């Protein structure tokens, strides 16, 4: 059980998984002749009716470009777009809305920091640390900027459990480390990283910390001020919102000092051929027409989440993982990959005698959607010595029956693989 759900376990839960599931129209269908069992939530979550409706309403009634119109629709679109930013600010407890920068998702959020902050702050001999269990989105942008600046990208070792090796981390820390970038929760193994401790230690040597919240934001409350991270980024589509919209949050002094990432309209104050001056936050980082409907859809997703019992939801997801582990223990040859000290509701596994992708196909034939492969974490897979894994990742609408179906599916696959 997570700290969050444990802390609150004395309160009476109003969480009802069946009424939550009814809010997601896509889940009410058959796939390959079976009721859909959607267990690929770490890749993307499904959207509640409220989000679909908010996007549809925007296009039916309010669609216009923002910040530049002198007409009613543009004013309405701008008001809804900026109130979506306020909703995000409230959701993550940002001191100000201007610290919420719209990006396409975590990938763009990390690239923005690597290119803007990295290019202006990294020197030859500096180091950027990322744990061995990172997603490629938190490796490749740093590789690119480190190569350009003559800095070094250093992996932080992990234990076989999939936890960060905190002793090794402490040894790597010195005043040459300028950035520690890590996921809050691992997409491949579900590891919930001890981010508060990592941030404290990194700050003690003067390093900044970027948290990739892709897998945390839908499951745990995120308070950027309590965390004291320097940057936090997440994608809307993993939070029941649309694809193509996400958030980069940063401490204001850092964002103010950073040069623009992309150039174009909206991000400027003045332009002439002798040079340009730039807009204030957040617009300095938002060149071009933004994903207006995406921001409105994301605000609707946040509002949906704020309307449910999140403590109960977290306890429910923790129960789903516990239930999975209990049932999995009874299947010979079914091996959990990683066993982190604290795990989110992600079950990464292998079945002896089968390749994960064959297993994934067989499960799909039974209407069960899991992800198979390397989960954009090739260094992690190499470190663990596995070709990839099959991954079931749970969300607020998954039921115990979904876990039962997964186990039936795995047993059936096992009998076919012999």
Give residues in contact with ligand PMP (CB under 6 A).
42, 105-107, 135, 137, 183, 187, 212, 214-215, 235, 376
Q: At its nearest, how many Å lie between ligand PMP and the CB of residue 229?
A: 15
SS3 assignment, position 59: helix
The nearer residue to ligand PMP, 217 or 267, going by C-beta atoms, is: 217
Nearest to 294 by CA among 104, 44, 72: 104
Does residue 228 come out as left (phi exceeding 0), alpha (psi in the -120 to 50 range) or beta? left
Cα–Cα distance for residue pair 337/251, rounded to 1 Å: 36
The nearer residue to ligand PMP, 99 or 183, going by C-beta atoms, is: 183
Q: To which H or E segment does residue 285 belong? A: none
Q: To which H or E segment does residue 71 belong? A: none
SS3 assignment, position 212: strand
Q: To which H or E segment does residue 99 belong? A: none
Judge whether 280 counts as a catalytic residue: no
Tracing tokens 């925007």 back to the chain, one arrives at: 58
Cα–Cα distance for residue pair 91/89, rounded to 1 Å: 5
Q: Which of 98, 229, 280, 376 is catalytic?
A: 376
Q: At its nearest, how many Å lie between ligand PMP and the CB of residue 302?
A: 17
Q: At its nearest, how many Å lie between ligand PMP and the CB of residue 236?
A: 8
The nearer residue to ligand PMP, 299 or 311, going by C-beta atoms, is: 299
The nearer residue to ligand PMP, 88 or 362, going by C-beta atoms, is: 88
Q: What are 123-126's contacts with CB under 8 Å, separation 24+?
A: 123/149, 123/150, 123/151, 124/149, 124/150, 124/151, 125/150, 125/151, 125/152, 125/176, 126/151, 126/152, 126/176, 126/177, 126/178
Tokens of 44: 């993307």
Q: At its nearest, how many Å lie between ligand PMP and the CB of residue 294?
A: 12
The nearer residue to ligand PMP, 42 or 359, going by C-beta atoms, is: 42
Nearest to 403 by CA among 321, 344, 342: 321
The nearer residue to ligand PMP, 2 or 393, going by C-beta atoms, is: 393
> How far is the CA of 3 from the CAs of 171, 219, 226, 319, 325, in angstroms?
28, 12, 15, 13, 19
Cα–Cα distance for residue pair 410/414, rounded to 1 Å: 6
For 350-379, b/e burial (b = at least 16 CB within 10 A) is bbeebebebbbebbbebbbbbbbbbbbbeb
The nearer residue to ligand PMP, 212 or 317, going by C-beta atoms, is: 212
Cα–Cα distance for residue pair 149/178, rounded to 1 Å: 13
Q: At its nearest, how many Å lie between ligand PMP and the CB of residue 235?
A: 3
Q: At its nearest, how many Å lie between ligand PMP and the CB of residue 374?
A: 11
Q: Which residues are catalytic?
A: 376
């Amino acid at each position: 059980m997570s700290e969050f759900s444990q802390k609150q376990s004395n309160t009476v839960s109003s969480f009802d998984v069946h009424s939550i599931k009814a809010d997601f129209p896509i889940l009410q269908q058959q796939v390959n002749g079976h009721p859909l069992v959607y267990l690929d939530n770490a890749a993307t979550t499904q959207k509640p009716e409220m989000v679909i409706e908010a996007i549809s309403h925007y296009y039916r009634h309010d669609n216009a470009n923002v910040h530049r119109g002198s007409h009613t629709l543009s004013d309405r679109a701008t008001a809804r777009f900026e109130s979506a930013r306020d909703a995000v600010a409230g959701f993550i407890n940002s001191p100000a809305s201007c610290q919420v920068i719209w990006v396409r998702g975590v990938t763009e959020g990390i690239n923005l920091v690597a290119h803007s902050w990295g290019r202006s702050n990294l020197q030859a001999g500096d180091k950027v640390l990322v744990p061995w269990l990172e997603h490629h989105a938190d490796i490749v942008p740093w590789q690119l900027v480190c190569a350009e600046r003559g800095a070094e990208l250093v992996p932080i070792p992990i234990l076989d459990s999939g936890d960060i090796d905190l002793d090794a981390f402490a040894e790597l820390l010195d005043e040459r480390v300028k950035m520690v970038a890590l996921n809050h929760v691992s997409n491949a193994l579900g590891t919930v990283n001890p981010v508060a401790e990592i941030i404290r230690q990194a700050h003690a040597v003067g390093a900044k910390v970027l948290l990739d919240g892709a897998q945390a934001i839908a499951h745990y409350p995120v308070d950027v001020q309590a965390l004291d991270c320097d940057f936090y980024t997440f994608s809307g589509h993993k939070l029941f919102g649309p694809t193509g919209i996400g958030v980069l949050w940063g401490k204001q002094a850092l964002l103010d000092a950073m040069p623009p990432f992309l150039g174009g309209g909206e991000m400027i104050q003045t332009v002439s051929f002798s040079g340009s001056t730039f807009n204030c936050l957040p617009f300095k980082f938002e060149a071009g027409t933004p994903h207006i409907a995406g921001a409105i859809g994301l605000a609707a997703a946040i509002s949906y989440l704020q309307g449910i019992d999140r403590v109960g939801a977290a306890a429910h997801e923790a129960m789903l993982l516990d239930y999975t582990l209990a049932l999995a223990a009874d299947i010979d040859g079914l091996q959990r990959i990683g066993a982190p000290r604290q795990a989110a509701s992600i079950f990464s596994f292998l079945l002896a005698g089968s390749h994960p992708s064959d297993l994934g196909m067989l499960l799909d034939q039974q209407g069960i959607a899991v992800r198979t492969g390397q989960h954009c974490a090739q260094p992690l897979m190499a470190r663990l010595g596995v070709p990839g894994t099959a991954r079931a990742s749970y969300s607020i609408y998954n039921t115990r029956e979904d876990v039962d179906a997964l186990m039936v599916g795995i047993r059936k696959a096992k009998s076919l693989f012999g």
